[in-house]
Chains A and B, each alone.
Chain A
Amino acid sequence: MIETVIKKPVIRAEGLSKSFNKQKVLRDLSVDFNEGDRIALVGQNGAGKTTLIRCILGQYVYDGKLEVLDRNPRKERVIILKDVGFVPQIPPPLKITVQEMLAFFSNLCNVPVDDFVTIAERLGLKVKESFSKPFVALSGGMKQKLLVSFALGKQPKILLMDEPSANLDPAAREMFFSYLAEYNKEALLVLSSHRMDEIKGLVNRVVEMDFGNIILDENIKR
């Protein structure tokens, strides 16, 4: 007997559209991202990956229907974002020190500072040596490690990562992927990347976008 596992949708888009100055960037997109999905979100520049992620984060006004954790990401943004970890492609140029940044995240996300520090150190960042350095003065890889540790330290139900390993050195990349491989199997992971070969061992589903819509959606065996 074949047992079918029905996964609960964590993100559900139906007829999702987004335009900028009459130019459609997302075109009537419909898709479900389910719990336990580890998705490689791939596509060329301008395909709509970042726009989709920003709609999920509640940063854009859109047409159509979008639900994240059964809520509206515009109207219930703050509640949703408590369960979302995000790693951006380009780190923000914050002038505050690493220590201040840790305190900021700890306070805002109700997570002990040590939880972030442990993850960052596993990724190879000597956090305590960098305490007094402004975040903006860290190297690209150090910034990325810290941002990844903030995203993972929250233990979110949804992890959205936009080219998360772009600035990591090979050792940190390996550590990062092994961390992700172990990460909560119930959680939804969306990895936006240009380098499919790099993340294919980590994902169980590939979603390819082009011209604002999904042109390929397939499950893959690991």
Chain B
Amino acid sequence: MSGKGFLAILKLDLFQTLRTRGFWLYSLLFGGFVAYMFMSGITESQIIGFVGLGRLLVTFMQVCIVIIPIYVLITVVRSIVGDKENNVMEYMLSLPVSFNSFFWGKLFAKFIVIYTPLLLSLVLSIIWGSFLKLSVPWEFFWLYSGLLASMVFCFLGIGMFISVYTRSQELAVSSAFVIWLVLVAFIDLLLMGMMLKLRMNPDLVISLGMINPLQVFRVGVLVLFDPKLTTMGPVAYYILDTVSRTAYIAFAIGYPILLGLLFAMLGARRFRSKDVI
């Protein structure tokens, strides 16, 4: 992979995305949501003793759990297969750009355009909170910035993988939706139900839950706000008995990145070894 080709594709994809209405709508949605939360007085409401900016950030992250994975998947799965369908790929790959530069350049451009508005929304909340003289929970800010980066990268890798393997945008979007539904379905309520019904080994069930990046992200969001994970019920005992809080945070950030990287690498391998059009 050449640095020049990678940067050229990254820049091209960034410029392309900045010219889409979808990107600005997405950025406004998250920025607007932060503004709306301040205006609705959420910083003054209380949950398990938590008020202020911490409360706002947790709510922001809860919304992200729902929106971000499906948004990333739907946006990214159309990337490679869409370029194939509309002749962008034929032309771009007639230029001296390696397959790896093309693939990774697009991936990192998508990371920047998806992650930056989220990070800016967090920064906006800190600035607005400081202006209102609320105490700034920096621990939350750093953890949530890391968790969001990790989750975006994870679903980006999965999305690129699907995009390489599918033959049409319709099929890619349907596959993305099915994957998202499966992951959402396996968030702990279903997991607990399954455990009770099948009388399965709890360790096995929890391990299954912990390979779901959505579940990992959700627990990661709660672990600062609710250190004993009381809102999660009995699952919390298994998790916190097995690993320390710090170890879990490292896992919650590291594991989705590795998972995304694995899928992206498999996608890149397929991309460079098969017909690209």
A residues adjacent to B (C-beta < 8 A):
54, 57-61, 77-79, 81-82, 84, 86, 88, 90-96, 100, 104-105, 107-109, 134, 147, 160
Contacts and interface: CB of A to CB of B under 8 A. Distances in A.
Contacts of B275: 59-61
B112 interface: no
B20 A88 contact: no
B90 interface: yes
Q: Which of B5, B16, B92 has most chain A Cβ within 10 Å?
A: B16
Contact of B88 (A84, A94, A104): A94
Interface in B257-277: 273-277
Contacts of B12: 94, 96, 100, 104
Contact of A57 (B20, B87, B93): B93
A66 B273 CA distance: 17
B130 interface: no
Interface string B92-128: 1111111100000000000000000000000000000
Contacts of B93: 57-59
Contact of A108 (B8, B16, B91, B276): B8
A58 B89 CA distance: 12
Interface of B: 2, 4-5, 8, 11-12, 15-16, 19-20, 86-88, 90-99, 273-277
A109 B92 CA distance: 12
Nearest to B274: A61
A91 B88 CA distance: 8
15 contacts: A58-B93, A59-B275, A60-B275, A61-B273, A81-B94, A93-B88, A94-B12, A95-B15, A95-B16, A96-B16, A96-B19, A107-B8, A134-B19, A147-B91, A160-B94
B16 A82 contact: no
A61 B277 CA distance: 10
A67 B206 CA distance: 55
B19 A92 contact: no
Given A78-B2, A93-B88, A96-B19, 6 more contacts: A61-B273, A78-B5, A78-B97, A90-B87, A95-B20, A104-B12
A90 B85 CA distance: 11
A86 B94 CA distance: 7
Given A78-B2, A108-B4, A92 B96 contact: no
Nearest to A82: B96
B277 A108 contact: no
Nearest to B17: A95
A177 to B, nearest CB: 22
Contacts of B95: 81, 105, 108-109
Q: Sorted from nearest, which 5 A-B pairs have the closest CB atoms?
A: A86-B94, A95-B19, A92-B88, A81-B96, A92-B91
Contacts of A108: 4-5, 8, 95-97
Nearest to A55: B275
